[in-house]
Structure 1
């Protein structure tokens, strides 16, 4: 059974190290309907919350509780869990052949363009779990088909714009896939192509995503000033769109590695504000529709690299693990799961538990779907902690990471 919000409240309160009185005071500071003179009644209310006696607090109460932990409401009080949304079925070989044949007709109609749009949506949704190489093949096939539609003039003017729009998103998806596989040149080429399509369309959200990819690349390369510069450029493109939450998250990750706690907290708070101001996406698994539960994922990474925030990092990792799997144990988001396992490995190593750290790191490195640069970045943090506290284990693990292509030292 999925974790209930009141259970998460108890867990995060413990991670913050707050007493019941401190929790009530934090709540009063954020609630529009309470003040310090009502402390006793708020304390009584929170006791009922903690016991799960109140299942559906008012929207204002939900907002204040989520804000206490710098999380958006739709993360803390999940409206549409990630595990409840399936990836659309892939077309059968016959259906795919028929659609391609229709797209190669002298004139392509609305119905077949709509089918192509559905396929691009499926590809963006499959990103989180499908093998990167096989998904890249599918994306490349579609990019070729869409390019031929434009070059051969087989769509109307309105259809032409729709095809360019689809091509832009597929170029972004290809950039992500190529960076997952560690191919910097191919990533750059796909990202630049997406920049061009965004400029042609005047699509500021698409443009912001090109900057998000730049920020992500800089993060995994250890270039924190460029993470911040790229993120700020992307935010200027689309300050209120959900992509801005991911850009603020990249800033939080960079600031945490620069050991700036205040700026990290400010950036995480902006993540919450942006996601709270946006409607829940119709497809929470589309890679370019920012799922509010990613706020816990972002916070986990930032808190892991800020010393003294280990309990919060651990609590956020538990949330990420829970939301990355279905109740039956099926993994739906292996890349998020891997980083959560590595986070716990880092914390286990700091606690002087090398065996546990190595077990968790081994599980994380065993997922077939992976983002190689991101995975190795966090795995290098595990190696760093092991080298400090258990040199023999650290040296062995570091050698294993070198074989996988990891840098010799973490960017943190």
Structure 2
């Protein structure tokens, strides 16, 4: 596949070939997703060839139709520039240093500038989730959560009181996620429940939805797939039109795929895809509580891997790695990349390449920023395949020993 073509053109070819379609097959499927009659086959085929060659980008009319044809969303296939400033200093955005904010928090009245600075601080912390060492982020998150919670004893307007509750809710969600990443499941569950309570008190549907999403995440890593579905449904009920509903649908799809119900998995994926397609493109792609189009590809990859769709899972894993890596090789989303490598490892193992499978598995385990429960859950899928097909191979025993050592650390 030529690398001098735009990424979207290369992906169109990869997606089509992963499905075993000719270009004529692709335009036939394209018609099924079109809202109105399209040009004749000869004209449409010429257009498709121009798209795949990278000669011309599809128009705004065709982009969502092509995305639907391949079961994704427009801005996953045709990305736009989003804001990536999770590591920006508070002072740049708010004109305040951390010490200034803390001093203002001790005043009897809290002004709008202080509230703005707190919003920026919470956004910054949530945007550092993917890269900052979890221990450091947990400490910072707890410190800010304590400071924000302390504001409730001061004189606040009703609007300020609700916003303080919401900010505390976001910080509690973040701290709970990091606690779970570090393997502290009991603390993570307590923090999740606190976030749910704060969201309910603030009447903030999205915070409540994310608290249910965390419950779904905890359940899927524990193998409680019916629990995932129950948590997803509870979250969608409270936040049906929020961004979190997309991720809840994805978690439900992952659970159905693990239960072997392909139809329900695809229904959930399509529900999430349609919801995400109708949402505006995120302003800050780094915020952990934002579902961006590339993240949805990551969830679809997981479902296809579990359903045994090797070509589709491999295509999406390669796309997740590409979309999560900067031009200079810096990994923006190391946890997504690690699970994408494990997906490539599972596909390699299924196709008889033990060396490739173990290499991908070891590569994923070496990732510096990990969510231990998540990486272990997917690693065990790879372990199951290599144990079944290559039980006596030294490479298999070495990989399983490494995995068992990591599992003991998380206990």
Q: 1:6-405 to 2 correspondence within 5 Å?
A: 6-34=9-37, 38-55=40-57, 57-80=58-81, 85-91=84-90, 95-151=97-153, 153-307=154-308, 309-391=309-391, 392=393, 393-405=395-407
**Does structure 2 conserve the Cα–Cα contact (< 8 Å) formed by 1:377 and 1:406?**
no
Q: Distance in 1 between matches of 2:408 and 2:294?
A: 28
Deviates more, 1:100-109 or 1:317-326: 100-109
- Offset from partner CA, 1:274-294 (integer Å, 9 cap, x none): 101111121121111211111
CA contact (8 A) 1:136 1:177 kept: yes
Q: Stretches of 4+ moved more than 6 A in 1?
A: none
Provide the rounded CA distance (Å) in 2 between the counterparts of 1:328 and 1:355.
27
Shift of 1:91: 4.8
Deviation at 1:406, TM superposition (A): 6.9
Give, in angstroms, the shift of residue 156 of structure 1: 3.2
Asked if 2 retains the 8 angstrom alpha-carbon contact of 1:345 and 1:361, the reply is: yes
Contact 1:344 1:357 in 2 (8 A): yes
Cα offset for 1:97? 1.8
Deviation per CA, 1:235-254: give whole Å up to 9, x if none. 11111211111011001111
1:269: how far off?
A: 0.9
Output one character per residue of 1:160-216: Cα deviation in whole Å (capped at 9) or x when no partner.
221111001111111111111111111111111111111111111111111101111
- What's the C-alpha RMSD, in Å, of the aligned pairs? 1.8
Distance in 1 (alpha carbons) for counterparts of 2:164 and 2:359: 47
**Residue 98 of structure 1, CA deviation:** 2.3
**What SS is found at the alignment partner of 2:97?**
helix
In 1, the alpha carbon distance for the partners of 2:183 and 2:70 equals 34
What residue number does 1:410 align with? none
